[in-house]
Amino acid sequence: MRIERPRGTRDFLPDEMEKRRAAERVMREIAESFGYREVATPTFEHLELFTLKSGQDVVEEIYAFRDKSGRDLALRPELTAPVMRMFANECSVMPRPLRFYYLSNCFRYERPQKGRYREFWQFGVELIGSGRPESDAEVIFLAYRILKALNVDFTLHVGHVGLLRDILSDIEEKDRAMRLIDKKDWESLKDLLEKEGNLEVFQIVMNVSEAKTVEEVERIYSDFDYSYLESVFEILRSLNVEFVPDFGIARGLDYYTGVVFEMYAEGLGAQKQVCGGGSYRLARLFGGEDVPSTGFAIGFDRVVEVCDVDAERKPTVIVVGFGDSTKSFKVAEMLRNAGVNAIVDVMGRNVRKQLSYADSINADFAVFAGEELERGVVRVKNMKTKEQQDISIEELQDYFSGSR
């Protein structure tokens, strides 16, 4: 019986995994260079961790289930809430600020399409304990540095969710309105605000979303203090970060309170948002202190799709045996000890077939487990140039390091 993968999930073959691991390495290295340290949380949590802030509506988008003891659980749809739960439970006395990063799979019950999966990965960071512009600037710059290092062609939009919340303060269905703004569903937003007799607000939201500078948006809506956002802009400009001020960013999740940002990459079609983040307050909701935090999550799968990264592959070396498997195993072990990835024949093939297999998997070298071994040398064949050479055991490491 043929069994298919569940809808919205993927298998990753070795070439794909190599690229994913290479991208992952870049992300980890850069995050660590900013002082972030890795954390991990459970794959499933109590459902209420995700409904406390967003209400029952989010259950629609969550893989929620009841376990055998009748507990309501959920596969994590994201990691900000889990990390803040962990912080409230276990890290509240640690010196602040805390800088955490993660790379984990997330699950959302969404309609699958290109770039949108039911199981996907996020690389994210949370900077916990500072409510200053420097912290927002740092996480934005970090996300920017990562996507630049991966040669992604993207644009960065930065705004402040407090502005839209302020404008919508008299609206009854604020959260719904924010979600419609996030989806840029202007028709439904207009209907909603018209129903509430507040078409004027609709016009302000439209104008604010189109403004390109702080001066411009200030002329449209002057009741908001733009100085915090301006401080973030100033730091970003000093770092030569290219960004677009965008006062219409609403973000899809409900917990944001301040500066928010999104990154969109070319070449991905409709699902082009490769990163989203901003500042929020969640710790108190989970029984902790009311600490300001900020962070982001990069859509790892989308970035892998469009990034250009070197998958540092070690040369593939095949040990060609002459019928004596113990010799092949010994030579392979010598190679491995010299830092080389060595493959032995487990099919009982003759020399010709072993070499043709080496060709078919694009091996870089064949090393013969022959009688030269007694002289302390092995015969090495470069599968690309077809040249053969005897190399002493001591020189193996040098010979293969740097070769491809």
Short-list 376, 330, 392, 379, CA closest to 351: 379
Least separation in angstroms between CB 212 and ligand HAM:
23
Q: Which stretch binds ligand HAM (CB under 6 A): 239-247, 282-290, 294-302, 350-358?
A: 294-302
- Binding residues for ligand HAM, total number by CB under 6 A: 25
Least separation in angstroms between CB 17 and ligand HAM:
17
| Interface positions, 125-144, toward ligand HAM (CB under 6 A) | 126
Distance CA(354)–CA(61), nearest Å, equals 51
Short-list 159, 103, 115, CA closest to 303: 115
215: buried, middle or exposed (CB in 10 Å: 19+, 13-18, 0-12)? exposed
- Single residue of 82, 97, 124, 133 touching ligand HAM by CB under 6 A: 124
Least separation in angstroms between CB 122 and ligand HAM:
5
Should residue 403 be labelled a site residue for ligand HAM when binding is judged by CB under 6 A? Answer: no
Helix axes 186-195, 199-210, angle to 10 degrees: 150
Beta bridge partners of 265: 154
Should residue 123 be labelled a site residue for ligand HAM when binding is judged by CB under 6 A? Answer: no
3: buried, middle or exposed (CB in 10 Å: 19+, 13-18, 0-12)? exposed
- Single residue of 88, 103, 147, 275 touching ligand HAM by CB under 6 A: 275
Should residue 307 be labelled a site residue for ligand HAM when binding is judged by CB under 6 A? Answer: no
Q: Tokens 């104008």: give the residue.
A: 207
Closer by beta carbon to ligand HAM, 154 or else 368: 154
Contact string 79-98 vs ligand HAM (x = CB under 6 A): -x------------------
List phi, psi (to 5°) of 206.
-60, -45
Helix axes 133-149, 14-33, angle to 10 degrees: 150
Lookup: tokens for 249: 């960013």
Q: Tokens 């997330």: give the residue.
A: 106
- Single residue of 302, 321, 327, 358 touching ligand HAM by CB under 6 A: 302
Closer by beta carbon to ligand HAM, 301 or else 364: 301
Distance CA(277)–CA(298), nearest Å, equals 9
Least separation in angstroms between CB 100 and ligand HAM:
10
Should residue 28 be labelled a site residue for ligand HAM when binding is judged by CB under 6 A? Answer: no
Q: Which residues bind ligand HAM (CB under 6 A)?
A: 78, 80, 108, 110, 116-117, 120, 122, 124, 126, 252-253, 273-278, 280, 295-297, 299, 301-302
